[in-house]
Amino acid sequence: PEGVIKFTVNGYKDIVGNEGKELTNTDISYGVVREIILDTTKPEINVENQVDVVIRDANKFTTNWEKLDSDLSGTSNNDGYWGNAWQTSFSLSWITDNKFTVKVTATDVAGNVATKEWTIDVTAPVCTSLEIENKNQTTGYAKAGDVIKVSVAFNEELVSNPIIKVNNILADVSIIEGKYVGEVEMKADMKQGEIEISVDEYKDDSENLGLELTNDNITGDVKSIILDTIKPVINFDENKASGTIMDTNLDKYLGRILKGTVNDHIDTFAWLKDPEVKFDFSSHGDGVYTIEAYDKAGNVTIEKITQGVVPSSIKVHPVGTMLKQGAQEAQKNVEETEQVKKTEGNLISDNKETTMENEQEETKTNKDSKEEVIENLKGNEEDKSLNKTENVLEELDKKLND
């Protein structure tokens, strides 16, 4: 065991056979060394708060420390004997470097050597970039269903992923190209207005905790994104031919008009931007009218009305329905014209069997019928132009969507 090395001396006799008494440590009387201590335990080096060093050992020891990659070093003598051990303590808090590595060596009188090397880092991680992005659009607005992406980077590696929240909703965080990225889908019941983000609970390997990051710390080009999940409101006046469009973030307003029966056509028009947009199509006459209102977040409201009929909300754009109805009407006109042609043929055949007395009257009748047929055929030629309607409508839709 450790401690004073004990010995005994016995079995010694003189020349006549007299045996001497047993000798032990207490019988040592000559020489400088009165005892020898067995010590196989190294000094114990403890570090608190990264910079406070405490060393203990059952026997005296010497201490040396050095700041690596520099000429800075020092020693520490035994401060005293407490709790059955010698002890010394010192602090390196006076070194102002943000991050550095030190090495402490303690050697006891038995020659046991203890060393400890560690990095002193008392500075919390620093955010180098914080960006917010709407993955669905770049307007600075967001609607329900859009995904908001938050990316954050730091000046050092973290011991674990930070906590990222978007509108107080916890995001799943992953590391992409050296950045911590969290994404959250926007919901209709979320708070309207500026989307709030936070990054918190991020630590380095020295357990230094960083300060919470918010919208005020955003460094990217996009400084804020406005959540707007409310559609524009279209209100018709009592006459059903005018009204207003209202929304806090109105962007684009369009009117589409389908008029006529045979010569169908579409007109489009837009109104000036005002907090409350007023529209009036009473001067355009009878027809089917579609009012479209878009806000900056991409929310859209579409109302279709035939003058004199109470408006009803629709979800499908009316242009396709209009085209189908126009084609059906044109086909009906063609069938009616063919029937007129057959009638004319029958009339001509019957006229050959009439008497001379009725020929003049029949001739007059035939002439009138022919003129009617010719007029119908002209109308039929106009109907054929409807074959181009689909191309016109598609081109118009494309322009409106642009």
- Residue-level pLDDT at 306: 80
pTM score, whole prediction: 0.58
- Residue-level pLDDT at 259: 54
| DSSP labels, 165-214 | EETTEEPEEEEETTEEEEEEE--TTSPPEEPPEEEE--B-TT-PBPPPB-
Q: Is 361 helix (H, G, I), strand (E, B) or coil?
A: helix
Query: pLDDT for 335-348, tens place per residue?
Result: 555 554 454 444 44
Residues of the chain with pLDDT under 50: 260-265, 309-330, 334, 340-341, 343-359, 362-363, 365-366, 369-370, 372-393, 395-397, 399-400
- Residue-level pLDDT at 200: 97
Give the tokens for residue 372.
Answer: 């009617």
- Residue-level pLDDT at 310: 36
| DSSP labels, 255-308 | EEEEE-SSS-EEEEE-----SEEEEE-GGG-SSEEEEEEEETTS-EEEEEEETT
- Dist. CA 272–CA 306, nearest whole Å: 23
Beta bridge partners of 52: 48, 91
Give the tokens for residue 196.
Answer: 């709030």
